[in-house]
Chains A and B, each alone.
Chain A
Amino acid sequence: MKYRHRIKEVGFWALFFLVFGLIPVFAKSEYHLVLANHILIWGLFAMAFNMLFGVTGMLSFGQALYYGLGAYWVGLMVKTFGDVWFLPAMGFGVLSAVLLSILIGLLVIRVSGVYFTVLTLAFGQLAWQITFKWYHFTGGDDGIQGIMAPGILGNHIVYYCFTLLLVAVSIWILRRLVNSPLGLTLRCIRQNPERVRFLGRRVRRNQLRIYVISSSFAALAGGLMSGVNNSIHPDMFYWTTSGEVILMGVIGGIGQFFGPFIGAAVIIIIQDVVGARTEYWSLIIGLVMMTMVLLLPRGLVGEIQAFRARFKSGAGNRG
């Protein structure tokens, strides 16, 4: 079983680098490169979110806050001080996400379950409103355009490789985290927080830890995104952004480590195919989400696995 597990892991990474490594070679246009970039960055965002929801059982509806924070650090610094600040700004974005998530985390972690969800949602909307209304600082509804990465990063292919590298390293870190003692504690918290407390582990502190970690990777995703789209918008803070990342997790399967990444790819591709043809994009998102929750709650990856397990046990019984 352990051996099979390794094969799967190696398989994912091989496929990951094969597909995303070959995209710059075979991409017919810049547009495809942007699309691949979106999948990588949303994939990272969704996996970071799933550390909260899928692993620890904390449904945050406010991860867009940190995503937007990362993006606005880059946007504002590049706009004010010039593009050499692109990379430092990305670092500042992650750092400020750490600080802010400790602050907000200390507040929202005092409650759990749906209360946690409602509060994270409220804080996310607060950030959106500030960004939206503070026109002379953030540019309000206009957002910020013309954010270019400096020097060689300005090249689309180089930037793509930069994203690929950062996302791969981040996913690897998250993977190590899930398999670490902290990851085990987090999974226990999801299943039975009271027992974790009996075992002498601090529930709140570990919840805060993963909240901070997840938020800082969301900020990293936001910073990376501002370089792909070359523009940012207050909607990055809006709760539909949090909703979309949740949907990616649910589609891929929140019980699976790599599930949210697959979910992100599925959503981005659907969005590319369908979103261009209809203005009723949120209707489609809503219907997809409804179907997933009602009929396929384990997500695509999880349902396939469950189906295979059922098939196998059925075959075993007959033999």
Chain B
Amino acid sequence: MLYLIEQLLNGIQLGMLLFLLAAGLTLIFGIMDLINLAHGSLYMIGAYLAYQAVSVWHANFWISVLIAALGAGIFGMFVEATFLRRIYGRAEEGGFQILLTYSFILVIDDLVKLIWGTEYKSLPRPVGFGGAVNFGGLTIPSYNLAIIAIGLVIVILAWLILSRTRSGRVVRAAALDREMLGSLGINVPLTMTLVFGIATAMGGFAGALAAPLRSVSPGAGIEVIIDSLIVVVIGGMGNFWGAWLGALILGEVNAFAVSTVPDWASLFNYLVMVLTLIFKPEGLFASREIRKV
């Protein structure tokens, strides 16, 4: 029983990190109609920036996380404004978007190698979160609890902003009809850049938070992008709550798989994806018709 609860909490923590990553991906897809394959690379940039801030600049961990999110966000906005914006509306846009974002992965991976080298970096857990908390025989690393709490705060915050504020309304409107939004006097290109920036900042934030748990290495971006794509596929592309549920499902599956068949754990992610595809190819929470060609 204790084992079950422990794995359950482990899964929630994994799911939270996955959600932070997948939320950005699904936001970009839902609003901008863009699959950003380089989203994992922004996660990696976040992890490296956090490492840089903590180990080289000796900053406080939580400030480093903010630096990482800010850095990834600014980088994302730069990329959107200089490169991605040029191909919107081009014929066969979908394919070219994927190719362009794929080329970002290759470039960012090598730039990271150039700046930080190829060896693995590790980050200590923040002060005060190195130990574990005891709940009647159940020991949970306090950093895991912190991640769960942060994840919950971000989920609620993102939902509130999207559904209750004027900017949230503008963003949702952009997903429906950009042209109409533009004629209502909203600066659509700027909105897109900001949305992209916020989404990539979330990716960087996730990378920084995950850095003390996993080692930081070039290639980390490629590892996580597949998982977050699976989350987005399970949940239904472009669907916020779908990504949330998908991330939790994948987190739980991962946690239990790692503790039972560690060598083959990552295969279970694909299994979940294949099952979803067979029974509900549009995802658990489909927000749009995808069978339409």
Contact = CB atoms under 8 A, between A and B. Distances in A.
A119 interface: yes
Interface string A248-288: 00100000000000000000000000000000101101110
A289 B290 contact: no
A6 interface: no
A118 B107 contact: no
Contacts of A203: 293
Given A111-B281, A111-B290, A280 B274 contact: no
Interface in B111-129: 111, 113-114
Given A243-B102, A293-B99, A122 B107 contact: no
Contacts of A107: 274, 277-278
Contact of A59 (B95, B111, B237, B281): B95
A110 B35 contact: no
B100 interface: yes
Interface in B214-272: 222, 226, 229-230, 232-233, 237, 263-264, 266-267, 270
A130 B105 CA distance: 23
Contacts of B278: 107
Interface in A274-312: 280, 282-283, 285-287, 289-290, 293-294, 297
A286 B106 contact: yes
Contacts of B113: 280
- Interface of chain A, helix or strand or loop or mixed? helix
A169 interface: no
A294 B100 contact: yes
A250 B107 CA distance: 17
B109 to A, nearest CB: 6
Contacts of A126: 267, 270
Interface residues of A, number: 43
A201 interface: no
A112 B293 contact: yes
A297 B267 CA distance: 36
A246 B96 CA distance: 11
B87 A286 contact: no
- Interface of chain B, helix or strand or loop or mixed? helix
A93 interface: no
A110 B98 contact: no
Contact of A280 (B114, B290, B291): B114
B177 interface: no
Interface residues of B, number: 46
B90 A294 contact: no
Contacts of A123: 270
Interface string A220-255: 000000000000000000011001001100100000
Contacts of A118: 35, 229, 232-233
A114 B277 contact: no
B103 A194 contact: no
B112 to A, nearest CB: 10
A290 B82 CA distance: 12
Given A119-B233, A246-B99, A293-B100, A280 B94 contact: no
A32 B94 CA distance: 38
Contacts of A122: 226, 229-230, 233, 270, 273
B87 A293 contact: yes
Nearest to A125: B226
B26 to A, nearest CB: 12
Nearest to B113: A280
A111 to B, nearest CB: 5
Contacts of A250: 99
Contacts of B107: 282-283, 286-287, 290
Contact of A283 (B110, B222, B267): B110
Contacts of B99: 246-247, 250, 289, 293
Contact of A289 (B106, B273, B277, B293): B106
A107 B270 CA distance: 13
A234 B102 CA distance: 20
Interface in B77-100: 83, 86-87, 90, 92, 94-100
A114 B94 contact: yes
Contact of A297 (B35, B96, B102, B282): B96
Interface in A111-153: 111-115, 117-119, 121-123, 125-126, 129-130, 133
A286 B105 contact: yes
B290 A293 contact: no
Contacts of A280: 110, 113-114
A92 interface: no
B143 interface: no
Contacts of B106: 240, 243, 282-283, 285-286, 289
B98 A59 contact: yes
A133 B263 CA distance: 7
B111 A283 contact: yes
6 contacts: A57-B95, A110-B281, A112-B293, A122-B233, A246-B102, A283-B107
Interface of A: 53, 57, 59, 61, 107-108, 110-115, 117-119, 121-123, 125-126, 129-130, 133, 193-194, 203, 239-240, 243, 246-247, 250, 280, 282-283, 285-287, 289-290, 293-294, 297
Shortest Cβ-Cβ A-B pairs, 3 listed: A286-B106, A283-B110, A289-B103
Given A59-B95, A115-B233, A280-B110, 19 more contacts: A111-B277, A111-B282, A111-B290, A114-B97, A117-B98, A118-B229, A122-B273, A129-B266, A133-B264, A246-B102, A247-B99, A280-B114, A282-B107, A282-B110, A283-B106, A283-B107, A289-B106, A290-B100, A297-B90
